[in-house]
């Protein structure tokens, strides 16, 4: 799955807590995040009004590609998260936009999947953006063209896990929820798929398994 960028950059476009209750979808503001460019863009009624530099997930714990909502906002969760947190409804884990006590990480793939901002920037964003705001994170679910997709095994989580689960389900191997969580039911399905395709039955999603699943171009 690829989320293609609708915005033109100088570079070629890429392919892609006590919590507040979820609010009605906000149509005035929206947020777009471009991990390849380390940018978070705020739009008001579709017009770009603010661009921030951010840090994003490293290749082993990538920032989740897809469309989400801000479902809660929090303050002062600890130095690692800076003064503000805006939580996303990613189904396989706790991901959000937050500050940091490591400002040197901005502009790099150094987080565990969250979007880090400078503390002054996240405070500004927190005051501007309501709960319910749509957040679109652009990129390719299986990673960028410079890297092979992650090898996946039990206990991994992510959009790539969800994509594999969906493909296994369509083939009749997986019968659980496609929730992006690689648990024992996914391992069993992978081993059955590996057996039928004469692959080592180790329950690991290797490059070879991706190919047999038809996920490699």
Number of neighbours of residue 135 by Cβ within 10 angstroms: 23
8, 104, 112, 114: the active-site residue: 114
Query: Does residue 114 have an active-site annotation?
Result: yes
Q: Is 195 helix (H, G, I), strand (E, B) or coil?
A: helix
Positive or negative torsion for Cα 176, 181, 183, 186: positive
Query: Does residue 8 have an active-site annotation?
Result: no
Whole-Å CA distances, 174 to 34, 170, 186: 32, 8, 7
How long is the chain? 217
How far the first Cα of the chain sits from its last, in Å, is 11
98, 109, 140, 178: the active-site residue: 98
Rounded to whole angstroms, the Cα distance separating 125 from 103 reads: 16
What are the residue numbers of the active site?
Answer: 98, 114
């Amino acid at each position: 799955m690829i989320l293609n960028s609708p915005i033109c950059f100088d570079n070629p476009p890429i392919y892609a807590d006590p919590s507040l209750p979820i609010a009605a979808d906000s149509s005035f503001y929206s947020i777009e995040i471009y991990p390849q460019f380390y940018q978070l863009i705020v739009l008001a009624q579709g017009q770009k009004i603010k661009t921030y530099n951010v840090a994003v997930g490293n290749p082993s714990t990538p920032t989740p590609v897809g469309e989400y909502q801000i479902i809660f906002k929090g303050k002062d969760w600890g130095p690692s998260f800076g003064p503000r947190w805006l939580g996303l409804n990613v189904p396989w884990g706790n991901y959000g936009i937050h500050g940091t006590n490591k400002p040197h990480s901005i502009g790099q793939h150094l987080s565990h999947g969250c979007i880090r901002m400078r503390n002054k920037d996240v405070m500004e964003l927190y005051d501007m953006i309501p709960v319910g705001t749509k957040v679109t994170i652009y990129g390719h679910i299986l990673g960028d063209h410079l890297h092979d997709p992650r090898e996946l095994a039990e206990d991994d989580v992510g959009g790539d896990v969800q994509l594999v689960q969906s493909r296994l389900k369509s083939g009749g191997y997986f019968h659980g929820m496609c929730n992006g969580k690689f648990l024992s039911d996914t391992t069993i399905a992978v081993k059955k798929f590996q057996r039928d395709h004469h692959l080592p039955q180790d329950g690991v999603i290797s490059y070879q398994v991706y190919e047999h699943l038809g996920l490699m171009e």
